[in-house]
Amino acid sequence: LELYKGVEPNGAVVKYAIGYMNFQVIIHRDRFPDEAAQMVRNESIKRIDQAYDVIAQAEAEIPKTVWMNLPQEDTAEYDKMLRKVRLSLLDDGVFDERAIKLMKAIRCRVDATRAECAS
């Protein structure tokens, strides 16, 4: 991402996850056996730790002096704003309940101290 261009000389990388990447696989059902979809899901789950390792490695390559933590009150405001966005997307039919639960699980895995992770 060429982050160095944004952090030199006085920038920073904010330690706050704004978005999460996902992927979807669309197949022609008539060309694959019925169990293919479950096989893809199972394989994805088996590799989730590998994906987190890739992320950890990429983050480790960013110099510690460049990271910036947001003040807690700013983080709380961002959390509220993004919650509203998620609920709006749920209401609009863009997300379904399973997507909301999955994204919460990811947020809580990344930061178990979040208020939403207590429930």
Verify that 59 and 88 share a domain, yes or no.
no
One-letter identity of residue 29 = R
**Is residue 67 predicted with pLDDT exceeding 70?**
yes
Verify that 6 and 51 share a domain, yes or no.
yes
Shortest CA distance to 65 belongs to which of 15, 16, 19? 15
Q: Identify the domain containing residue 77 by its residue range.
A: 70-119
Verify that 35 and 25 share a domain, yes or no.
yes
Verify that 6 and 42 share a domain, yes or no.
yes
Domain count, the chain: 2
Please name the residues in contact with 110: beta carbons below 8 A apart, sequence gap of 6 or more.
17
**pLDDT on residue 23:** 65
Tens digits of residue pLDDT in 28-57: 888 989 888 888 888 888 988 898 899 899
